[in-house]
């Protein structure tokens, strides 16, 4: 009867329903806290259990902390849940509280930017133009029966020269001259006097505008003046010079090419505006664009 309590034939402890096999599950060779195959789990003195290979739970697992390999997971459940069903195009980032947050996708053609602290989506900034580059300033829009059109957006702190692009600028009459005229300094008036020179010495100045297209036609098959008028050094207290390069049809229905023709406003002044018109009648149609050449 040694080693038995109760009936030897029953093989169990009298009054306990556990079998010998059940009791043998507690017969461990390793220290408490270390998992052993086919043995019960027993925590050590610190309530720790190690060396579990796989653990499957069918309910909720609650823990005070989680370590993967040797790295402790410090993210909160809320932060980890940011990964759940994350929407297309979203990204995870650190918010103002230092917590993991979700930033949804930005709008079409926007880029991810930073203000040095936080992230956001914004329209891409235009690249900074360096010295000597050309920058669009203004447009006359589609002109129609306009007596003239003036550009006053001169900025001597930013631009050194200007270019004016003429697109199908057509008069309402035929045989008229195209006339760019400088504004007189300190006034709202434009210089219509004979203070402009062309390919001649200053004493012989006899033009009433910068020299451009002469005797322009307005025939039904004509498209008007197409070209560029360059204005140089308007911010200097000196003569302002201009150069015209364009194609147009004159009143004899001949195609003319105004090849790099130079002229000057022979008044020593700072020019801060320019007006375009024809010598008579109106601007029937066309568009004029203004560009600035940036200072270095």
Residue 108 to residues 87, 91, 102, 105, 113: CA-CA distances in angstroms? 16, 16, 18, 9, 14
Supply the range of the domain harboring residue 138.
134-294
The reply to whether 254 falls in a domain is yes
Pair (241, 266) in one structural domain? yes
Environment class of 36 (CB within 10 Å of its CB; exposed 0-12, middle 13-18, buried 19+): middle
Domain match, 283 and 144 both: yes
**Residue 84 domain-assigned (yes or no):** yes
Residue 1: predicted pLDDT: 44
Dihedrals phi, psi of 238, to nearest 5 degrees:
-160, -170
How confident is the model at residue 66, as a pLDDT?
Answer: 82
Across all residues in the chain, what is the average pLDDT? 85
The answer to whether the predicted template modeling score (pTM) of the entire model surpasses 0.85 is no
The verdict on 138 and 282 lying in the same domain is yes
Query: Where is the domain boundary, 125, 155, 177?
Result: 125
Same domain, 159 and 248: yes
Residues 278 and 197 in one domain: yes
Nearest to 289, CA basis, from 162, 101, 100: 162
- My answer on whether 120 and 243 are in the same domain is no
Indicate whether 232 and 110 sit together in one domain: no
Give CA–CA dist 95/164, Å, rounded.
49
8 A C-beta contact, residue 179 and residue 288: no
Stretch among 69-78, 153-162, 267-276 having the lowest mean pLDDT: 69-78
Number of domains in the chain: 3
Give the tens place of pLDDT for each residue, 50-60. Answer: 888 888 888 88
Burial grade of 72 (CB within 10 A; 0-12, 13-18, 19 or more): exposed
Sorted by sequence, the CB contacts under 8 Å of residue 177 that are 6+ apart come out as 209, 212, 213, 214, 215, 216, 278, 279
Structure tokens at 244: 């015209």
CATH number of the CATH domain containing 174: 2.60.120
Q: Which residues contact 159 (CB under 8 A, 6 or more apart)?
A: 135, 137, 235, 292, 293, 294, 295
158 and 235 share a domain? yes
175 part of a folded domain: yes
Domain boundary among 125, 142, 175: 125
- Averaged pLDDT for residues 118-134: 78
The answer, yes or no, to whether residue 169 has pLDDT greater than 80, is yes
Does residue 222 share a domain with residue 108? no
Instruction: Specify whether 114 is located in the same domain as 162.
Output: no
Judge whether residue 201 has pLDDT over 60: no
Is 158 in the same domain as 197?
yes
pLDDT one-digit tens code per residue, 249-267: 887 767 776 656 788 999 9
**Residues 160, 218 share a domain:** yes
């Amino acid at each position: 009867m040694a080693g038995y309590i109760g009936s030897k034939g029953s093989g169990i402890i009298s009054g306990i329903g556990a079998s010998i096999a059940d009791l043998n599950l507690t017969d461990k060779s390793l220290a408490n806290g270390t998992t052993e195959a086919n043995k019960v789990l027993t925590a050590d003195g610190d309530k720790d259990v190690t060396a579990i290979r796989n653990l499957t739970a069918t309910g909720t697992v609650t823990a005070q902390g989680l370590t993967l390999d040797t790295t402790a997971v410090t993210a909160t459940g809320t932060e980890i849940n940011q990964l759940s069903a994350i929407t297309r195009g979203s990204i995870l980032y650190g918010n103002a509280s230092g917590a993991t947050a979700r930033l949804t996708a930005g709008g079409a053609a926007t880029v991810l930017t930073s203000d040095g602290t936080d992230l956001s989506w914004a329209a891409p900034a235009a690249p900074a133009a360096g010295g000597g580059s050309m920058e669009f300033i203004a447009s006359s829009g589609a002109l129609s029966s306009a007596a003239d059109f003036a550009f006053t957006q001169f900025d001597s702190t930013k631009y050194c020269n200007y270019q004016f692009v003429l697109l199908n600028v057509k008069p309402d009459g035929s045989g008229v001259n195209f006339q760019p005229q400088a504004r007189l300094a300190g006034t709202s008036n434009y210089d219509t006097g004979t203070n402009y020179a062309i390919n001649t010495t200053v004493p012989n100045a006899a033009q009433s505008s910068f020299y451009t297209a002469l005797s322009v036609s307005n025939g039904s098959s004509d498209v008007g003046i197409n070209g560029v008028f360059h204005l140089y050094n308007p911010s200097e207290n000196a003569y302002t010079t201009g150069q015209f390069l364009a194609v147009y049809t004159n009143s004899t229905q001949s195609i003319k090419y105004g090849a790099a023709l130079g002229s000057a406003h022979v008044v020593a002044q700072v020019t801060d505006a320019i007006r375009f018109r024809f010598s008579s009648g109106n601007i029937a149609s066309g568009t004029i664009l203004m560009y600035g050449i940036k200072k270095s």
